[in-house]
Structure 1
Amino acid sequence: MADPSTYRPAPGTIPDKPGVYRFYDKNGRVIYVGKAKSLRSRLSSYFQDIAALHTRTRTMVLTGARVDWTVVDTEVEALQLEYSWIKEFDPRFNVRYRDDKSYPSLAVTLNEEYPRLQVMRGPKKKGVRYFGPFAHAWAIRETLDLLTRVFPARTCSAGVFKRHGQMGRPCLLGYLDKCSAPCIGRVSAEEHRAIVLDFCDFMAGKSDAIEKRLRKAMLQASSAMEFERAARLRDDLGALAKATEKNAIVLPDGTDCDVVAFAQDELEAAVQVFHVRGGRVRGRRGWVIDKVEDVTDAELVEQYLLQVYDADQESTSGVPRTILVPHLPPDLDAMQRRLGELRGGPVEIRVPQRGPKRDLMQTVGRNAEEAFTQHRLKRAGDLTARSQALAQLQEALGLDEAPLRIECIDVSHVQGTNVVASLVVFEDGLPRKSEYRRFTIRDAVREDGESVGVDQVRAGEGTDDTRSIAEVVARRFRRYLEERERPPSVDDESGRPKKFAYPPNLLVVDGGAPQAQAAGAALTELGINDVAVIGLAKRLEEVWLPGDDEPYILPRNSEAMYLLQRVRDEAHRFAITFHRQKRGKAMLASQLDGIKGLGEARKQALLRKFGSVRSLRNASVDDLREVDGIGAATAQAIHDALAPSRDDPVAVDPLTGEVIQSAADSTEPQPASHAPTPHEEPR
């Protein structure tokens, strides 16, 4: 590793102008290419305190041996030069949008005398019209099989076309009327091209005119008593309807656009893009990338637009008229001009605010999150990978044996209310859901001082999360100590001890040093010293051991890290699910407090009947009277107490959309540990 100070440019030598810069390693290879509005400002940021840099940026700077730059006049020139150098040098530290496969498109060879419909991969060619890309080639063939009965265009190769022309008889598709057989002159070149152009119009979303024409022809044939022809036209209309169902219209205005969304953490990001043509989703693509610098969401969008669309400069069909993104790139005007040059027409980049386009953006976002989850869990089903993960954990943590049983604890709450915790169990690297447990957190410190870690809490050393974790660890392992003294209780199906009859090899808590310390202290007070404890911090996936001043960093792409992430994420999911259930019931119960004539038994009956605040608010007096024990007077009291004033706005739970209380009675929420925004899950 090189010391960055040995190759840092002298002060004042870097120009304060736009340009593109390159980092080289000791062997002279380009390892990173970047652009900047101000080269002086951007390059100076790399040579600050190394500890303050993003993890991958720090690695890149330490790997580098020198840096140079090229000054340009405009930001558009900087975009062009940056992409050309990334393509030429393939720097190892640049974000790389690479598919693990080539996506197929439906191609129409309009540059031939008799155009052909076919599946095509690879670079786009002049004179060929493309629809897609599609996720699978079979999806294209299935669509063609439906549509060739309506648009009997040629699908055969040049060799087959020529051979049947010499033979003077069509292929099987010609006999089945799924090809108009231009090879034997059944239709002229002009007539065949008209069929192909109708097909292109239908694929481009102009299906209404074609359907009207077929329906009119069907009615005319029926009136003329040509019932066989009318039946065929009816079947053609059915085939068109079925094909339209397979490519459901998602945007009613028939827009051509790409919709891009991201899911990310500090070191990686998953990108999903839906290709919408003529209002229909024609295909989608996805990548998972490494983030080298600590880039913002807007900069991530810029990198995507630069690399994906600039990669295909031979064809303009890949750049749509509109690109919908979650955040606008920093150099919006320059990016729109660059993409406009590639497309040969104006390109608009914008963030959808409402309506179907925003709904579609949310759908793409969910797909990105799912792809990101699958990326992180893709090796979980591999026995070799699981064995490797357990071996790596044993070595990294210095355990006497591989952690065949791992338990993980996570705490969930909103501003300190309705605090719950989850405990999940993994055995042999796989979840054992029958042994998952949920905890409702009691008071952090009981009056009798029995809770674990009381001294630390009273001294002000603990946080709410640490007290909750200490309580869960104490309750779980007290149960273990109790069951250890009893006669063994065995599960009839698996033959294993039930519940908490034996301890884990490794206990993971979601959090950093304080959370790991709290869990370790809880085990020490119970006299348990044969269970390893670690905390997994979210920000950079740091592994904390109780009492250590510095974290242990597992390699980001190691099997051990993948396993720990999966265990932690499963505990987080399980805790949030329980928290939502508890929060909904608590919210409803709190609304019923203070209503005359309503005791605990009647509250529970209302909970069972309606289940949510919204349902109870919308219930009529007659609906309320259907609940056992609720009379006319009590029902009226409940209805009056929950009905907000028409003049007052209402406060809404940002997570569930449920009405909490009238705004006149509500208060502004105060900042608290892990308080979610409207776009966050509860912790």
Structure 2
Amino acid sequence: MANAGVSRASGTPRGPASYRPAPGSIPESPGVYRFRDEHGRVIYVGKAKNLRQRLNSYFADFAGLHPRTQTMLTTATGVDWTVVNTEVEALQLEYSWIKEYDPRFNVKYRDDKSYPYLAVTMGEEFPRVMVMRGAKQKGTRYFGPYSHAWAIRETVDLLLRVFPVRTCSPGVFRRSARIGRPCLLGDIGKCSAPCVGRVTPEEHRAIAEDFCDFMSGSTARFIKRLEREMFEAAAVEEFERAARLRDDVQALRRALEKQAVVLGDGTDCDVIAFAEDALEAAVQVFYVRDGRIRGRRGWVVDKIEEVGTAELVERFLLQMYGDAAPEALPREVLVPAEPPDRAALADLLSERRGARVEIRVPRRGDKKTLLETVARNAEEALAQHKLRRAGDLTARSRALEEIAEALDLDQAPLRIECYDVSHTQGSDVVASMVVFEDGLPRKSEYRRFSIRGLAGQGDVASIHEVITRRFRRYLEERSSVGELSADGAAAPVGEPIDPETGKPRKFAYPPNLVVVDGGPAQAAAARRALDELGVTDVAVCGLAKRLEEVWLPGDDQPVILPRASEGLYLLQRVRDEAHRFAITYHRAKRSKNLTESALDGIVGLGPARKQALLRHFGSVKRLRAATADQIREVPGIGPATAEAIVAALAKSSKGDET
């Protein structure tokens, strides 16, 4: 393996032409290349069988490149490469560099899956049972979703003994009809073989409808019918038929065992829960029939207007049940908040169902527990939706362009830093810094700050201090970075890497945009801190929570982005992540301080043992709930000290209550 040349921009005009390698300078050997930005940071790594051919393709026809590649080339200010002996070495080096540098423009794979459903194609002449994913089709009954396709196939295999519905593809069905011989499932009794006329279309449809009824929750009547037929067969000494019916009953019972029992027998309800933020809401519905979860569905909706949970419940129920078939409506609907006009809505659903429908908010018991479970699923669905949306390259690019246009920036803010302050009535003040690059979080560069000496002075002073500390470190580290190497063979000396650790310096890279959680006062404080340090090439804005207004320093009126815009969505996501990170740090610090203050003055309990207690129990809440015997399990804590700890924590708890 051998190093090759490097091409760097000279500082005049920005663009691929400014750092295009000289003709003939790129070797035709296999190798790996790196594009770097103006700060020396690697933003893209690639490999090539022929370096000259591959790199020339970037500079030959800029207009014909993919928009993402164009953005990468305009962001970069230089390219270097390393020659290797074989393509295998190139692959290994590329993987190593991608892992080391985590370049923002390299593809990042994210797991994404659509859950499988059990589908019955009732719209066909001969309905078919099958596993389906993706968009729903008209005329098809769906059950699920299931976590795995094999779970569906196991259930279907058990039920085909009793409900021998067709499961074959159209091609297999036509072939069997043409040759006049059924497939293997028809021979072993797991298909009624409508392809060869063993049953009429009407008889086969009746079997499919019984299958759907069983999956919908009407299970008892089928088991009772089979048991009755089994006893009748045994009474007339048809023991083989009785044995087969016995096996059918066992198959149905095993299929039922695979579906979780969550409520009492006979319970027929839909359980609906929401997870929401200012712009979107995720809805999850669990369908409970005869006390068992028969399926689950989810939706995500944009909140175009300002609505609360109660209004969301009302509109969702109208949308969900407005055109539903009467048999699809349950006897009871469990919701997290009572809709504004519950009685009228219940009457409307009752009229559609032909029987009474109750809308309730469970307050206790198994139904409340189930609603909490559905709510956790809604939170997970919203998180997954945000992850998919963040992973959408087109949406991210549009978001960055919208932000640049709204804030009048020269270029899209490829690196955004957001700051938030958290405290308890002015004490235990902390701040967070989160980093988003190319619209995605870069958690390795998150930072947190403990703010001292500003208790009671408010968020504005805290924002000023945090911005000052962060950018003072940036200026210090930038001044310690040397100039680029003059010879083209070596890696640049100016790369902001700590020579002692070999890792990037903590504050070496400046953002294009600083976002602070707050309104005009917080934005002005951040701008003032940057101006005092002489940093003029970083834009600043504030994002106020109540109306999601974007404030620029010195402006009397906010910038209003459309509520459905990708730009506002990204800014909100950045702000929420900063808030989450700050709250997490604040809670940890507050818990530690509460524990240490409550344990002050106990003889024989120094800082080391306080830390040991906190590590062992994990939180002050668990430590307060522990007995003296449990506390004695911590190394170094004796019986007398354990009793003293219990007494001290009990005393502090009473003080908190008063």
Instruction: State the TM bucket, normalised to the shorter chain.
Output: 0.5 to 0.7
* Structure 2 Cα separation of the partners of residues 494 and 280 of structure 1: 57
**Kept in 1: contact 2:158–2:255 (CA 8 A):** no
Residues 519 and 264 (structure 1 numbering): CA distance in 2 closer, same or farther, change over 3 Å?
A: same
Aligned to 2:554: 547
Within a 5 Å distance, the mapping from 1:175-190 to structure 2 comes to 175-181=187-193
**Kept in 2: contact 1:132–1:275 (CA 8 A):** no
Q: CA deviation at 1:490?
A: 0.9
The farther-off stretch of 356-365 and 500-509 is 356-365
Question: Percent identity between the aligned chains?
Answer: 55
**Kept in 2: contact 1:103–1:134 (CA 8 A):** yes
Q: CA deviation at 1:179?
A: 2.0
Q: CA deviation at 1:499?
A: 0.9
* Structure 2 Cα separation of the partners of residues 629 and 255 of structure 1: 54
Q: CA deviation at 1:205?
A: 6.1
Aligned to 1:353: 363
**Kept in 1: contact 2:121–2:139 (CA 8 A):** no
Residues 190 and 310 (structure 1 numbering): CA distance in 2 closer, same or farther, change over 3 Å?
A: closer
Aligned to 1:471: 465
Residues 521 and 212 (structure 1 numbering): CA distance in 2 closer, same or farther, change over 3 Å?
A: farther
Report the 3-state secondary structure (helix = DSSP H, G, I; strand = E; otherwise coil) of the residue aligned with 1:666: helix
Q: Any gaps of 5 or more consecutive residues in structure 2?
A: 1-113, 483-495
* Structure 2 Cα separation of the partners of residues 195 and 549 of structure 1: 67
- Select 1:398's aligned residue among 379, 392, 408: 408
Within a 5 Å distance, the mapping from 1:615-626 to structure 2 comes to 615-626=622-633
Q: CA deviation at 1:137?
A: 12
Report the 3-state secondary structure (helix = DSSP H, G, I; strand = E; otherwise coil) of the residue aligned with 1:640: helix
Q: CA deviation at 1:108?
A: 8.7
Q: CA deviation at 1:140?
A: 9.3
Aligned to 2:153: 142
Q: CA deviation at 1:423?
A: 0.7
**Kept in 2: contact 1:148–1:179 (CA 8 A):** no
Within a 5 Å distance, the mapping from 1:403-442 to structure 2 comes to 403-442=413-452
* Structure 2 Cα separation of the partners of residues 260 and 150 of structure 1: 34
Residues 500 and 325 (structure 1 numbering): CA distance in 2 closer, same or farther, change over 3 Å?
A: same
**Kept in 2: contact 1:323–1:349 (CA 8 A):** yes
Summarize deviations over 1:573-595 as a string: whole Å, max 9, x none: 22233233223323322321233
* Structure 1 Cα separation of the partners of residues 570 and 500 of structure 2: 27
- Select 2:254's aligned residue among 241, 244, 268: 241
* Structure 2 Cα separation of the partners of residues 132 and 624 of structure 1: 51
Summarize deviations over 1:544-582 as a string: whole Å, max 9, x none: 111211111123333322322222222222223323322
Q: Does 1:532 align with 2:539?
A: yes
* Structure 1 Cα separation of the partners of residues 169 and 410 of structure 2: 68
- Select 2:641's aligned residue among 628, 634, 649: 634
* Structure 1 Cα separation of the partners of residues 293 and 415 of structure 2: 45
Q: CA deviation at 1:348?
A: 0.6
Q: Does 1:520 align with 2:527?
A: yes
Residues 123 and 603 (structure 1 numbering): CA distance in 2 closer, same or farther, change over 3 Å?
A: same
* Structure 2 Cα separation of the partners of residues 311 and 203 of structure 1: 19
Q: CA deviation at 1:201?
A: 3.9
Q: Any gaps of 5 or more consecutive residues in structure 1?
A: 1-100, 446-456, 458-462, 645-659, 669-683
* Structure 2 Cα separation of the partners of residues 503 and 111 of structure 1: 61
Report the 3-state secondary structure (helix = DSSP H, G, I; strand = E; otherwise coil) of the residue aligned with 1:539: coil
**Kept in 2: contact 1:408–1:508 (CA 8 A):** yes
Summarize deviations over 1:158-209 as a string: whole Å, max 9, x none: 9988996896643331124322447768789999968974873465163698
* Structure 2 Cα separation of the partners of residues 285 and 543 of structure 1: 35
* Structure 1 Cα separation of the partners of residues 501 and 612 of structure 2: 39
Report the 3-state secondary structure (helix = DSSP H, G, I; strand = E; otherwise coil) of the residue aligned with 2:588: helix
Q: CA deviation at 1:305?
A: 2.0
Q: CA deviation at 1:493?
A: 14
* Structure 2 Cα separation of the partners of residues 611 and 578 of structure 1: 14
Aligned to 1:37: none
Residues 629 and 287 (structure 1 numbering): CA distance in 2 closer, same or farther, change over 3 Å?
A: closer
Q: CA deviation at 1:351?
A: 0.6
- Select 1:153's aligned residue among 161, 164, 171: 164
Q: CA deviation at 1:437?
A: 0.8
Q: CA deviation at 1:414?
A: 3.9
Residues 595 and 414 (structure 1 numbering): CA distance in 2 closer, same or farther, change over 3 Å?
A: same
Within a 5 Å distance, the mapping from 1:435-474 to structure 2 comes to 435-444=445-454, 464-474=458-468
**Kept in 2: contact 1:151–1:196 (CA 8 A):** no
Q: TM-score, normalised by structure 2?
A: 0.67
- Select 1:481's aligned residue among 475, 483, 490: 475
Q: CA deviation at 1:487?
A: 4.2
- Select 2:217's aligned residue among 204, 214, 226: 204
Summarize deviations over 1:41-90 as a string: whole Å, max 9, x none: xxxxxxxxxxxxxxxxxxxxxxxxxxxxxxxxxxxxxxxxxxxxxxxxxx
**For the aligned residues, what is the CA RMSD?**
4.6
Match of 2:525, as an amino acid? A
Match of 2:153, as an amino acid? E
Aligned to 1:505: 512
* Structure 2 Cα separation of the partners of residues 432 and 104 of structure 1: 35
Q: CA deviation at 1:614?
A: 4.1
* Structure 2 Cα separation of the partners of residues 294 and 328 of structure 1: 18
* Structure 1 Cα separation of the partners of residues 119 and 620 of structure 2: 51
Match of 1:486, as an amino acid? S
* Structure 2 Cα separation of the partners of residues 180 and 413 of structure 1: 69
**Kept in 1: contact 2:278–2:303 (CA 8 A):** yes
**Kept in 2: contact 1:151–1:195 (CA 8 A):** no
Q: CA deviation at 1:157?
A: 8.6
**Kept in 2: contact 1:406–1:504 (CA 8 A):** yes
- Select 2:617's aligned residue among 606, 610, 617: 610
Match of 1:154, as an amino acid? V
Aligned to 1:320: 330
Q: CA deviation at 1:503?
A: 1.9
The alignment covers a number of residue pairs equal to 522
Match of 1:248, as an amino acid? A
Q: CA deviation at 1:366?
A: 2.9
Residues 522 and 198 (structure 1 numbering): CA distance in 2 closer, same or farther, change over 3 Å?
A: closer
Summarize deviations over 1:405-457 as a string: whole Å, max 9, x none: 21111122344443322111122322222111112222216xxxxxxxxxxx9
* Structure 1 Cα separation of the partners of residues 436 and 359 of structure 2: 45
